Chain A
């Protein structure tokens, strides 16, 4: 509730500011996430010159839809970026490589700015070895990724680690090229 109040306040300040220099510069995208209940002030943030004091209800709705669409696209882009960033491991190892740490730092950056994301970290292995042992190996991989993100400042309550063992290979095949792509931690993101 406090957060919402804060957001509303910021929105109000921003809109006042925008009103003052509406014709001089285009407003930046609001870095703070907006919820659907946040109505009126934003309408003034739009680029079009304001002809009348009150916009028609029609265009208001259209603008609101556009804003939500932009917000949705932005979130989707972020989610896609996280979900594309698989972290790879060495054979039968669950230690983070230097390359993995670089990727995880970027993911941590996104996640610490976006507290609505609930992230499931899936640990995977290559096809070699037994199903049982590979679930333990996948669990070690997903947990070390989770620990790294927490150490980087991401809220642990937003991170769930699970293991798929060797059950969900990304690439089919029985050569090192396929194996190396399957020894990974994968992110799945849902919005709370």
Chain B
């Protein structure tokens, strides 16, 4: 590919076309990764005996997984149809068998076939309770992604976000597609800013039970404890993906600064020694660097700094309000929220702040972007439909899909990959 571009540049030079113009064109090509999705056929499962699906039937779950993944485009069909698959360029298709067992469970045999030859590329079998059908199908879909791309899929990952329930902001989690929602906090005070602990063992979040923002850790077993009570106000948590340690913001006497703390021992020390306020820390994928927001230039802008707190450099220069940056798991891009004339929109840029791409526009406010762990997708909150809901889009801004409904859902944070999801 690179070689071709080089040739193209040389060709342009030889033709004596203004060289800069040709290079500019190429630079844009390289900068914006335009998704090329792979069409994949999806057929309904053969059912042995009448099966009452609690929710969606398996092929509908697979269709949704394919279209959300940022990798595929589903080509649904009622039966095997090679003409359709050829026309739509679907070289593979997924389908399966479903059998109702006497103990109430459902046996799912899921298959990935090559369309033209009907060669079996992948076969997986799951025996599950009816309420676990979604998880089994998500598991199969991630295996399909791995078979065809050699990469981990995100169909078994989850989102944590904030949902207004009876007028109070509560932390909830759900599957990445918005299904299987579960409420995590129940108190009468505001809960917000959830992030996933290392290995998805639980969440760290902010609660106002003492009429001020404070960090808490909650495990999915149900135990909860206050974090770093030595500080009056703590918020803006960011979990180190490698060690599990926490970067967070402390507000004391009007100044907000970043601290780095160990959740187990409770000890924490100042991360940066700057005159300005700092907030919204985010780790790089291998925890070697940190992004944060500072108002040192008079308005919030994104900066990067080494994990030892040295070598601060400014990333964003365009506009007066750039906040809450987050590092792509692939390591090459930064996503952040920018405000212009009171409207919030989501942008990405290269690590040095160049090559800015606006992902959302003319659709209300769009904020709080969070990367999927494979770096292909971005979840965010938008009020484009009247009230705030969670949406997923591809990392180039295409394929925007709403995944929540209800009163108000905000502040999504994507989980890490689950190491060992077992469906038996």
Contact A139 B368 (CB under 8 A): no
Chain A interface residue count, CB cutoff 8 Å, equals 26
Known: A128-B339, A163-B213, A167-B190. A135 touches B251 (CB 8 A): yes
Nearest to A164 among chain B residues (CB) is: B208
One digit per residue, 1 when the CB lies within 8 angstroms of any chain B CB and 0 when it does not, for chain A 113-139 equals 000000010100000111111011001
Of B253, B280, B321, B344, which is within 8 A of A132 by CB? Answer: B280
Chain B hits for A167, CB < 8 A: 169, 190, 192, 208
Nearest to A143 among chain B residues (CB) is: B254
Contact B211 A162 (CB under 8 A): yes
**Smallest Cβ distance from B285 to chain A, in angstroms?**
21
Which chain B residues (204-256) contact chain A, with CB distance < 8 Å?
A: 208, 211-213, 232-233, 235-236, 249, 251, 253-256
Contact A129 B344 (CB under 8 A): yes
Known A131-B368, A132-B249, A133-B280; 17 more pairs at CB < 8 Å: A92-B299, A128-B342, A128-B344, A129-B300, A131-B411, A133-B300, A135-B213, A135-B236, A136-B256, A139-B233, A140-B254, A147-B254, A161-B253, A162-B232, A163-B212, A167-B190, A188-B211
A61 to B371, CA, bound (A): 69
* Interface CB pairs A-B, < 8 A, 21: A130-B323, A130-B368, A131-B192, A131-B193, A132-B279, A132-B280, A132-B323, A133-B279, A135-B251, A135-B279, A136-B256, A136-B277, A136-B279, A147-B254, A161-B253, A162-B213, A163-B212, A164-B213, A167-B190, A167-B208, A188-B211
A133 to B211, CA, bound (A): 18
B337 lies within 8 A of chain A by Cβ: yes
B293 lies within 8 A of chain A by Cβ: yes
**Smallest Cβ distance from B50 to chain A, in angstroms?**
49
A164 to B190, CA, bound (A): 10
A168 to B213, CA, bound (A): 12
A182 lies within 8 A of chain B by Cβ: no
One digit per residue, 1 when the CB lies within 8 angstroms of any chain A CB and 0 when it does not, for chain B 366-400 equals 01100000000000000000000000000000000
A43 to B249, CA, bound (A): 56
A18 lies within 8 A of chain B by Cβ: no
Nearest to B169 among chain A residues (CB) is: A167
A15 lies within 8 A of chain B by Cβ: no
**Smallest Cβ distance from B94 to chain A, in angstroms?**
40
Of B190, B192, B212, B255, which is within 8 A of A162 by CB? Answer: B212
Q: Give the top 5 A-B pairs by smallest Cβ distance, nearest first.
A: A143-B254, A162-B212, A136-B256, A139-B251, A132-B280
Chain B hits for A188, CB < 8 A: 211
Chain B interface residue count, CB cutoff 8 Å, equals 35
**Smallest Cβ distance from B228 to chain A, in angstroms?**
16
A180 to B233, CA, bound (A): 25
A75 lies within 8 A of chain B by Cβ: no
**Smallest Cβ distance from B26 to chain A, in angstroms?**
35
A92 to B293, CA, bound (A): 15
Q: Is the interface of B mostly helix, strand, loop or mixed?
A: strand
Contact B213 A130 (CB under 8 A): no
Chain A hits for B256, CB < 8 A: 135-136, 139
A residues in contact (CB < 8 Å) with B: 92, 120, 122, 128-133, 135-136, 139-140, 142-144, 146-147, 161-165, 167-168, 188
Contact B293 A132 (CB under 8 A): yes
A135 to B257, CA, bound (A): 12
B109 lies within 8 A of chain A by Cβ: no
B295 lies within 8 A of chain A by Cβ: yes
Chain A hits for B212, CB < 8 A: 162-163
A142 to B235, CA, bound (A): 17
Nearest to A179 among chain B residues (CB) is: B342
Chain B hits for A144, CB < 8 A: 254
Known: A162-B233, A163-B213, A167-B208. A130 touches B280 (CB 8 A): yes
Nearest to A168 among chain B residues (CB) is: B190
Chain B hits for A92, CB < 8 A: 299, 321
**Smallest Cβ distance from A182 to chain B, in angstroms?**
13
A135 to B323, CA, bound (A): 13
**Smallest Cβ distance from A94 to chain B, in angstroms?**
8
Nearest to B367 among chain A residues (CB) is: A130
**Smallest Cβ distance from A133 to chain B, in angstroms?**
5
Of A133, A139, A161, which is within 8 A of B323 by CB? Answer: A133
A165 to B190, CA, bound (A): 12
**Smallest Cβ distance from B351 to chain A, in angstroms?**
21
A132 to B249, CA, bound (A): 9
Nearest to A120 among chain B residues (CB) is: B211
Known: A132-B235, A133-B323. A163 touches B251 (CB 8 A): yes
Chain B hits for A165, CB < 8 A: 213
A165 to B280, CA, bound (A): 14
